[in-house]
Amino acid sequence: MRPVLFRLFGLPLYSYGVMLGLSLVVGWFLTLALCERDGLDRRTMGRCYVWTAAAAIAGARLLYVFTNLDRFDHLTDLVKLNQGGLVAYGGFLGGLVGSALFCRVAGVPLVKWADCAVPSLCTGLAITRMGCFLFGCDFGVETAGPLGVRFPAGSPAFNQQRMTGLLGPEAVESLPVHPTQLYEVLVGLALFALVMWTRRRRRFAGQPFLTFFVGYGVLRFALEWLRGDEQRGGLLGLSTSQIIAVTTIVAAGALWPVLSRRRR
């Protein structure tokens, strides 16, 4: 765990913020390279990327705030992003809305842009979840298995276990928990390979985009059962992310034959 990755001129640079910034830089170069390969104008899609990224961050923050309203006492707390507080699904959906608005105004086919942008969602997921691991958030449930990790005193896992009575006053680290952050790093890398493979063999525009949302929905739904942090909201025994996962899987499944028929 390393919440502050390093200091620059005495100012702390938080690991999550650094990884988020790195993911945006990697996504920029990857997305625009794919746009050029697919015949889209680089300058126009560069503006689209900026618009999409801003909408994604806003969506990620809004979903976190919505599922954790009790944690915000002042309006200024809403914009304090240096220590995390973003939800991946909120970012995906916010970015989709931002992309749709820009593409409509610019006259760019949304599915064509989405096929270029979706690989950066995979790399962004892998990079930002590493930031989550360094910060200690989004941890898993307790485990006695060989993959369990312990977080030090003061970490989110330690504090939650102390509050729930799982740790005594003499404890200096948490009980072993699933490193769900690292599991999602692997999910991001696996989805990147799958999406890039689909791009090379796609039969219709939008297929890589739909492949991502189905694949991430299935994997995220399963991983949510291993999450131990309580700041996730929920309904009827399912977390907020599980509800969104099911919704996006159904939506992607419904769009699949529509986009396929459009090509024919």
With cut-offs at 50, 70 and 90, classify the pLDDT of residue 5. Answer: confident
Predicted local confidence at residue 261, as pLDDT: 85
Residue 230 DSSP label: S
Of 46, 33, 200, 25, nearest in space to 108 by CA: 46
- Give a yes or no: residue 54 inside a domain: yes
As given in the structure block, the two tokens for residue 114 are 């989405």
Q: Measure the CA–CA gap between 128 and 232, rounded to whole angstroms.
A: 17
- Give a yes or no: residue 157 inside a domain: no
Q: Measure the CA–CA gap between 67 and 231, rounded to whole angstroms.
A: 7
Backbone φ and ψ of 249, nearest 5°: -65, -45
* pLDDT for 233 beyond 70: no
Predicted local confidence at residue 2, as pLDDT: 81
Residue 119's Cβ-count burial label (10 Å; 0-12, 13-18, 19+) is buried
- Give a yes or no: residue 81 inside a domain: yes
- Give a yes or no: residue 151 inside a domain: no
Alpha helices (runs of H) in 38-109, residue ranges in sequence order: 42-67, 88-106
| Sign of the CA dihedral running 140, 65, 238, 258 | negative
- Give a yes or no: residue 106 inside a domain: yes
Mean pLDDT of 100-125: 94
Q: Measure the CA–CA gap between 114 and 234, rounded to whole angstroms.
A: 29
- Give a yes or no: residue 38 inside a domain: yes
Q: Give Cα 253 distance to the centre of its chain.
A: 21
Range of the domain at 30: 4-141+178-263
Q: Please answer whether residues 166 and 142 qualify as being in contact, where contact means their C-beta atoms are separated by less than 8 angstroms.
A: yes
- Using DSSP, state whether 14 is helix, strand or coil: strand
Q: Measure the CA–CA gap between 218 and 153, rounded to whole angstroms.
A: 33
Q: For the chain, what percent of residues have pLDDT higher than 90?
A: 66
Q: Measure the CA–CA gap between 248 and 118, rounded to whole angstroms.
A: 15
- Give a yes or no: residue 255 inside a domain: yes
State the angle between helix axes of 110-135 and 207-224 in degrees (0 to 180), rounded to the nearest 10.
30
As given in the structure block, the two tokens for residue 224 are 């949510």
Q: What is the tally of structural domains in the chain?
A: 1
Q: Measure the CA–CA gap between 103 and 45, rounded to whole angstroms.
A: 9
* pLDDT for 175 beyond 60: yes
Q: How many CA atoms lie within 13 A of 107 on its CB side?
A: 1
User: For 15-24, 31-40, 113-122, 189-198, which range has the lowest pLDDT when averaged over its residues?
Assistant: 15-24
- Give a yes or no: residue 96 inside a domain: yes
Of 202, 207, 197, 185, nearest in space to 259 by CA: 207
Mean pLDDT of 164-182: 93
With cut-offs at 50, 70 and 90, classify the pLDDT of residue 241. Answer: confident
As given in the structure block, the two tokens for residue 186 are 């692997």
State the first-to-last Cα distance of the chain, in angstroms, to the nearest integer: 52
Predicted local confidence at residue 42, as pLDDT: 94
**Amino acid letter at 40?**
L
